[in-house]
Amino acid sequence: MVKWQGQCPACKEWNSLKEVKDQRSKIKNFRKTGDGGKIEEVRLGERTRKERVVYSSQIGEFNRVLGKGIVRGQVILFAGEPGIGKSTLLTQLIGKVGGLYVAGEESAEQIEMRVERLGIKKDNFSVLEENDIDRVVEYIRRTKNVYKIGVIDSIQAMVSQEAVGQAGSPTQIKEGAFRLINLAKETGVAMIIVGHITKEGEIAGPKLLEHMVDTVLYFEGERGGELRILRVSKNRFGPSDEVGIFNMTEGGLVDVREPTLAKASAGNVGSAITVVMEGSRPMTVEIQALVTESFGPMPKRVFSGIDYNRGQLLVAVTQKVLGMPLYKYDVFVAVTGGIRVEDTGADVAVAGAMYSSFKNRPIGGSRAIKADTKSASSPVLMGEVSLLGEVKKVRSWEKRIKEAKNWGGEVVIINSIMELRQMV
C-alpha cells in the first residue's frame, strides 16, 4: 500500500527519506532488423550490396578530413574551443548542402544574422529552436526524407525527459547521444553533434560519447589569429590522420590549399624553421624560443603549441648534450600561428631555437652536410631527437624537403644536435 511516511522505519529519523526516480532508460530499440522486432542475423556473403550514399560538403578541406564527404547516417562529434568558429563552419555547411540546424543555445534571429553576414542563401536553411531531445528526435523522424544533415548545437544544451539530471550532466549527454545515434541509423540523416571543450582541452562529458559516434572532429586555432585547423581523431569511414586548414575572414572560413606559417624573413635570434606533416600535407612553421636567466627557486618551463612532456624532454637533452645550464634559466617555446604541432620532426628546430636564444645569435651558416637546395636567409631544421641527442629522419622526408625548397629554405641535415654549435 502506498502511503506517506515521514519517519524512516530503520533508523527512526524524521524527514530523512527522499524520492529517487528510476534511472533506467525507457528508450525503445529503434534498430529492428526484422518484422515486428524479430532478431535476425545478417550474412554478409548473401547480402545484396547497396550503394553507399556520400554527400559532398562542398567544402574542400571538410571533405579532405572526412575522406570523400559525409556518409548517409553518419554521426559526427564536432568539438572546439568557444569562439573558434564551430557555428560559423557548420552554418556554411548547412548553407551549401541544406539541412536542419537545431539551435539549443541560440535563437533563430541570431542564426539569421550570421547567415546574412556570411552571405548564405536562406532557401535550404531550416532552424529548429528546441532543447528537448525527445521532441527533436520525433520531429526529424517525421521529416526524415526532407533533410540530409542535422546539426545539434549543442549536446550539452539538450535535455531528455526520460533521464535524470540537468542539461550537460553525463546521464543526459549519454541519453541524448544514444537517441541521436539510433535516429541516424534509422532514418539515414547524418547527425553532426556539437560538443563543448573543458579547460583541459577535452570534450565535456563522458568518454563514452567519443566511442559511440562514428567520427570525432576537433576544431582548433588561436582565437586572435586567422588560421583554423580541423583535425580528426576517429573516423570509421575514412582516414583518421588527416587535417583541414581554414582561414578565418569576414565572410567566413576559407580553404587554405598551401599552408605556411613561416615568414621568408625568419632568421632572428631564438627562431628556427622546420617542416611538419599535418595529415598528408607538409607545412612550414616557425619555432620561437626565449631562454632567460631565472631568479626564482624553480625555473619556468612554458611550451605553447608543443606537448609539455616532449618539451621537457628536449630541454633535458639539449642541456646534457650542448652543455647549456638550463637548470637556472627560464625556457619559453612557442609555435607561431597558434597551431599545435604533434610531429616529432620539429624536435631539431626546438633545440636549435633554444640554443640560438641561449647564445643570443641567429642560426646561420653550417659545416654540416646539406641537401641540394637553393640558399635562403634561414636554414630549415628537421628530424627527431633521441635521448642521446641523435637526430633521426622522420616519415615523408622527401615531401618535407620539397616543401622546404618551395618555401625557399636550405635544408640542413645533421646527425646530432651537437652540430648545432657549428650553426649558431
Place of cell 547527425: 191
Q: Average pLDDT, stretch 168-195?
A: 93
Tens digits of residue pLDDT in 313-327: 999 999 999 999 999
* pLDDT > 90 fraction of the chain, expressed in percent and rounded: 58
Contact 171/208 with Cβ under 8 angstroms? Answer: no
Amino acid 318 reads: T
As a whole number of angstroms, the distance between CA 356 and CA 350 comes to 10
Burial (CB count within 10 angstroms: exposed 0-12, middle 13-18, buried 19+), residue 82: exposed
69 or 52, greater pLDDT? 69
Tell which residue, 381, 351, 360, 331, has the closest CA to residue 268.
360
- pLDDT of 42 reads 78
Report all structural domains of the chain as residue ranges with CATH numbers, in order of start: 52-255 (3.40.50.300), 271-422 (3.30.230.10)
For the record, the C-alpha cell of 228 comes out as 583554423
pLDDT reading at 4 higher than 80: no
Place of cell 535476425: 40
- pLDDT of 218 reads 94
Poorest-pLDDT segment among 117-131, 221-235, 325-339: 221-235
Q: Average pLDDT, stretch 334-354?
A: 91
Contact 227/219 with Cβ under 8 angstroms? Answer: no
pLDDT, averaged across the chain: 86
Tens digits of residue pLDDT in 62-76: 999 998 899 999 999
Contact 264/283 with Cβ under 8 angstroms? Answer: no
- pLDDT of 198 reads 86
For the record, the C-alpha cell of 321 comes out as 648534450
- pLDDT of 354 reads 97
Q: Average pLDDT, stretch 205-217?
A: 93
The dihedral built from the CA positions of residue 366, 368, 374 and 380, taken in this order, carries a sign that is negative
**DSSP per-residue letters across 122-143:** STTEEEEE--BHHHHHHHHHHT
Burial (CB count within 10 angstroms: exposed 0-12, middle 13-18, buried 19+), residue 68: middle
Q: Over the range 163-191, which residues count as b (16 or more CB within 10 Å of their CB) and which as e? A: beeebbbeebbbbbbbbbbbbbbbbbbbb
Poorest-pLDDT segment among 68-72, 133-137, 203-207, 286-290: 203-207
pLDDT reading at 375 higher than 50: no
- pLDDT of 39 reads 77
SS3 call for 260: strand
227 pairs with which residues across the strands? Answer: 247
pLDDT reading at 258 higher than 80: no
- pLDDT of 146 reads 86
Tell which residue, 374, 353, 376, 373, has the closest CA to residue 424.
353
As a whole number of angstroms, the distance between CA 194 and CA 217 comes to 10
- pLDDT of 46 reads 72
104 or 145, greater pLDDT? 104
- pLDDT of 193 reads 96
Q: Angle at Cα 322 formed by Cα 319 and Cα 327, nearest 5°?
A: 20
Tens digits of residue pLDDT in 275-301: 999 888 899 999 999 999 999 889 999
| H helix runs in 287-396, sequence order | 308-322, 347-359
Tell which residue, 289, 262, 282, 281, has the closest CA to residue 273.
262
* pLDDT > 70 fraction of the chain, expressed in percent and rounded: 88
- pLDDT of 352 reads 95
412 or 194, greater pLDDT? 194
- pLDDT of 77 reads 97
Poorest-pLDDT segment among 28-42, 183-197, 407-421: 28-42
